[in-house]
Amino acid sequence: MAIEIDVEKSFGTRTIAACFTAESGLTALFGPSGAGKTSILNMVAGLLRPDRGHIRVGGRTLFGADVDLPPEARRIGYVFQDGRLFPHRRVKANLLYGYHLADPARHWMGFDEAVAFLGIEPLLGRWPQSLSGGEAQRVAIGRALLAGPEILLMDEPLSSLDAARRGDIMAVIERIRDELRLPILYVSHDRAEVDRLATEVVALDG
C-alpha cells in the first residue's frame, strides 16, 4: 500500500515542505531536530492541517481538494514518543479503547492476538504508572494496532528508553514490519536506528 505525501505548511517565516511516496515497509523520516519530521506525521494523522497539497493512502484521499478527513476517519495508528497511555485506565482498558474506536468491520487483529503478539498478557491488570518505558511502549503499540489502522505512525518511540529496552522494542517494530506487513512512517534522528529498521529513508534537512 502506497502512502503519497505532497504537503506544505508555514509557521511564520519558516516553511515545512515534503513530497514523497512511501511503499509498504518502514519509511524513516530522518533528520535533525527542527527539520519538521513530527509536523509531517501530524499532517498525515490529521492533527495539523497543511496549507496546501494532498495526502493519500492506498489511493484513498485523507487530505486534498475539498477533502480533510478528521483523525478518527483516517484509519491511522499513532505511537507517540511518550506513549500517552491514559493514566486512569489499566492496561487492558487502554488496549480496548483503541479496539472500540474502530468500526468492527475494520478490525484485522483481535484483542487476544495483539496481546500474544506483543507479549503483554502479564501487564493487563496493571496501571500505566507502574510500567517501565519499554512496557508502556508495547502497550501503546498494541492500542494503535487494535484501532484497525491501514498505516502506523511512530514518532521517536525509542528516544526515552535505555539500551536494553530499545533493542526489545526494535524487535517488535521489525515484527510489525515483516510479519504484519503494516506500512510504517517512522520519525528518528538516530542513524543506527534508521539503518536497522528502515526499508526506505526520506532525509529532511529543515
pLDDT tens-digit profile of 73-102?
A: 899 999 988 778 999 999 999 999 878 877
Residue 12 exposed, middle or buried by CB count within 10 Å (0-12, 13-18, 19+): exposed
- What's residue 127's pLDDT? 96
Residue predicted with more confidence, 166 or 106:
166
Mean pLDDT of 116-139: 93
Give yes or no for residue 168 having a pLDDT over 90. Answer: no
pLDDT for the residue numbered 206: 58
Q: What are the DSSP calls for the chain, one per residue?
A: --EEEEEEEEETTEEEEEEEEE-SSEEEEE--TTSSHHHHHHHHHTSS--SEEEEEETTEEEEETTEE--GGGS-EEEE-TT----TTS-HHHHHHHHHHHS-GGG--S-HHHHHHHHT-GGGTTS-GGGS-HHHHHHHHHHHHHHT--SEEEEESTTTTS-HHHHHHHHHHHHHIIIII---EEEEE--HHHHHHH-SEEEE---
Mean pLDDT of 161-186: 88
Q: Please check the confidence at residue 104 and state whether its pLDDT lies above 80.
A: no
Q: Give the mean pLDDT of 127-145.
A: 92
> What is d(CA 7, CA 71) in angstroms, rounded to the nearest whole number?
17
Our measurement of the distance from residue 150's CA atom to the centroid of its chain's CA atoms, rounded to an integer in Å, reads 11
pLDDT at 103 exceeding the cut of 80: no
Question: Looking at residue 125, what is its pLDDT?
Answer: 96
Stretch 104-125: mean pLDDT: 88
Across the chain, mean pLDDT equals: 90
Given this model, what pLDDT does residue 180 score? 87
In degrees, rounded to 5, the angle at the alpha carbon of residue 57 between the alpha carbons of residues 157 and 54 is: 100
- Topology annotation, domain 3-203: Rossmann fold (3.40.50)
